[in-house]
Amino acid sequence: MNSIPLRVTVWGENRHETSHESVAKLYPNGMHEAIAAGLREHLGDTVTVGTATLDQPEHGLSNDVLDRTDVLTWWGHAAHEEVSDNVVARIHERVLGGMGLLVLHSGHYSKIFRRLMGTECGLRWREAAEREILWCVNPGHPIADGLDEYFELPHVEMYGEQFHIPPPDELIFISWFEGGEVFRSGCTWTRGKGKIFYFRPGHETFPIYYDANVQRVLANGIRWAAPASSAAYNPGGRNITAPLAALAEDHTVDASIH
């Protein structure tokens, strides 16, 4: 419908990539660049994809950058606490106003995700190179487009329930792990006008972001999370005149209190 490309900003913490040789070998330009490349490949000229990282000024997420962002993706792990509260507040406001947000893997513990969820967002984990099978339980959802009933990842870090999130609006994927756990791996929420998609796979020591199914899910997620409505939205508290105008004159109020 819309021929103007979606504007995506892929945010990466970009620390493991510089401090661990094995991660650097896997993702020589950083995970954010691998994620961005996958989106460009799957979405072609329907998107423009930029990147931003923790150690840039304002973490690369100035108001100017956010003005040009329809959907933001977030990968963080070791340095959640280093993300500035100001930038978090800025992103929070943008999401409520309609910017889409994809939260990836260990981003479950980021400040922005926890603030939007209102819960602790903890989970069980085990770094054991296990097999993961992701089952699609919502096949009509646009994020599932093109997938089979399930897909596998041969070696992953395990994330297990209980995942301490609010009940998702939509549950799309449930993961099975070799060690005996399950996990709600694809969840969506609406907050204000913004759409949020959490997707589990993505550990830094495995080549997850080169997997074709993972790339497809992220590409689908970008499309789904894009702003889809220009409807009026007024988040603040407001003292309002009645639609039925005659009303105002009918009542007297002790206005000194409010």
**Hey, is 86 helix, strand or coil?**
helix
Residue number, 60 or 198, with CB nearest to a second copy: 198
Residue number, 60 or 211, with CB nearest to a second copy: 211
User: Least CB distance from residue 250 to a second copy, whole Å?
Assistant: 8
User: Least CB distance from residue 22 to a second copy, whole Å?
Assistant: 6
DSSP 109-120: GSHHHHHHH-S-
φ/ψ of 248, rounded to 5, equals: -50, -35
Count of residues that interact with a second copy, criterion CB under 8 A = 101
Residue number, 60 or 209, with CB nearest to a second copy: 209
Residue number, 102 or 123, with CB nearest to a second copy: 123
Nearest to 102 by CA among 197, 34, 187, 182: 197
Contact call for residue 195 and a second copy (CB under 8 A): yes
CB contact set of 55 (below 8 Å; sequence gap of 6+): 14
Contact call for residue 212 and a second copy (CB under 8 A): no
User: Least CB distance from residue 47 to a second copy, whole Å?
Assistant: 11
Per CB under 8 A, the list member of 68, 120, 154, 212 interacting with a second copy is 120
Residue keyed to tokens 């961005």:
36
CB contact set of 254 (below 8 Å; sequence gap of 6+): none
Contact call for residue 16 and a second copy (CB under 8 A): yes
**Listed ranges 16-24, 57-65, 67-75, 83-91: which one lies at the site for a second copy (CB under 8 A):** 16-24
Contact call for residue 241 and a second copy (CB under 8 A): yes
What sign results for the dihedral spanned by CA atoms 141, 145, 150, 151? Answer: negative
Contact call for residue 127 and a second copy (CB under 8 A): yes
> Of 94-113, which residues contact a second copy (CB under 8 A)?
96, 98, 109
Residue number, 47 or 52, with CB nearest to a second copy: 47
Contact call for residue 242 and a second copy (CB under 8 A): yes
**Listed ranges 27-35, 53-61, 62-70, 234-242: which one lies at the site for a second copy (CB under 8 A):** 234-242
User: Least CB distance from residue 57 to a second copy, whole Å?
Assistant: 27
> Could you tell me the two tokens for 246?
């005659």
> Of 135-194, which residues contact a second copy (CB under 8 A)?
135-150, 152, 158, 160-164, 166-167, 169-171, 174-182, 184, 189-194
How far is residue 79's CA from residue 241's CA, in Å, rounded to a whole number? 47
How far is residue 62's CA from residue 56's CA, in Å, rounded to a whole number? 10
How far is residue 184's CA from residue 256's CA, in Å, rounded to a whole number? 51
Number of other residues whose CB lies within 10 A of the CB of residue 25 = 9
How far is residue 199's CA from residue 217's CA, in Å, rounded to a whole number? 9
> Could you tell me the two tokens for 9?
């900003």
Contact call for residue 28 and a second copy (CB under 8 A): no
> Of 72-91, which residues contact a second copy (CB under 8 A)?
none
